[in-house]
Structure 1
Amino acid sequence: MRDGRAVRSVAELVDLLDACRGAWDTPDRTGDPVDLYDHALQTAHLLRRSHPADKELQVAGLVHDLGHLLRPGDDAGHAETGAAAVQDLLGARVARLVRLHVPAKRYLAAVEPGRALSAQSTLTLRVQGGVMGPAEVAAFEADPDAAAAVTLRQADDAGKVVGLAVGDMEDWRPVLELVADRAYAP
């Protein structure tokens, strides 16, 4: 979604993901310890290892923080921004998982109160709605994508390791093409 438009091709998406190299979740670089590029690759890599058959989940991990690149500083809305940018290309499930990665953080903060978050995730939790209340927890648990969203969130939290090499964006082009082709297959 450059200039308000959805990403229309895998080539455009790979270019956008490549632009995450040297881009950070906070404009002043006080946030997480890896740039958005390394974070995307690490998150997707963890999901590939834990859920090798779920290509949509892996791709959601790769693109889940694109909203930080598209609208820097919009911690509360980055999930929606990223989801809107990729929905036309990657389909409804990938976009939904991207949207749900923030509610999944709020959910995990409610059901696992001692769970460690990065300093930046702890800060942004407040602007993203805070810890879920009991009614929100019940609604989230009833969502058919809740388990996958929690898995994405757990990989998101773990994919922040400085210096961990897990390939490059070109490695993901075939998976992105596969998911894009499947998104609108008859």
Structure 2
Amino acid sequence: MTLTREALAELVDGLAGLPYGGEAVDQRTHALQAGWFAAQHGGDDELVLAATLHDIGRAQTVRDEWPDLPHERSGAEFARRHLSERAAWIIAQHVPAKRYLVATDAVYHDHLSPASVASLIRQGGPMTVEEVAEFEAHPNAQEAVLVRRWDDDAKDPNGPVLQTDEVLAAFDRFLAAR
């Protein structure tokens, strides 16, 4: 099944009102803020889509399709099916990227919200030296780190957001370039 722009819009808009783990924003605002950060950073359309959809595994339709996977892995499966392997890897790695940053950036932990600190424990805590080396060896590791940082910053109820039509334009350009 091919992802249409209408289905993508419904998926993103369907995140409205979904709680985001005790944060001050809902899942839709969080997604669109992360996408805004990617666009402001000059990310290509694929990276903007990966940033916007990094938590799409929390959407009910995606959860229903991959019920036994954590959100980052079900989101990656969605992206693999509908976008690309690069987007899938970045989405899959946004949780490990938090573990990576805690292990490699002395001040990163202080930037985490209380909810993110709590989830870090469930996610395995800081990476080991071996895990850091494996993560860094991937060609898209730094993009996953960027998405992680945008994820951490995309929690402001009054912050800027990418508009749905901008997400759809990125999607159209991405499809046209494939």
- Scaled by the length of structure 1, the TM-score of the pair is 0.84
The runs of at least 4 aligned residues of structure 1 exceeding 3 Å deviation read none
What is the CA–CA distance in structure 1 between the aligned matches of 2:73 and 2:19, rounded to whole Å? 18
Deviations 1:10-60 (A, max 9, x none): 32121011001111233xxxx2210111111111111111124x2211111
Residue number in structure 2 paired with 1:47: 38
Matched, 1:65 2:47: no
- Provide closer, same or farther for how the CA distance between residues 61 and 167 of structure 1 changes in structure 2, counting only shifts above 3 A: closer
| 1:136 Cα deviation from its structure 2 partner | 0.3
**Aligned mate of 2:117, from 109, 115, 122:** 122
- Scaled by the length of structure 2, the TM-score of the pair is 0.87
Contact kept in structure 2, 1:47 and 1:61, CA below 8 Å? yes
| 1:168 Cα deviation from its structure 2 partner | 2.5
Alignment-mate amino acid for residue 55 of structure 1: D
Contact kept in structure 2, 1:39 and 1:159, CA below 8 Å? yes
Residue number in structure 2 paired with 1:169: 164
Deviations 1:86-121 (A, max 9, x none): 222211111111011111111001112432211111
**Superposition RMSD on alpha carbons, in Å?**
2.0
What is the CA–CA distance in structure 1 between the aligned matches of 2:85 and 2:77, rounded to whole Å? 10
Residue number in structure 2 paired with 1:104: 97
| 1:85 Cα deviation from its structure 2 partner | 1.5
Residue number in structure 1 paired with 2:149: 154
What is the CA–CA distance in structure 2 between the aligned matches of 1:104 and 1:46, rounded to whole Å? 17
Matched, 1:144 2:139: yes
Contact kept in structure 2, 1:40 and 1:63, CA below 8 Å? yes
**Alignment: residue pair count:** 171
Q: Which consecutive residues of structure 2, in runs of 5 or more, have no partner in the other structure? A: none
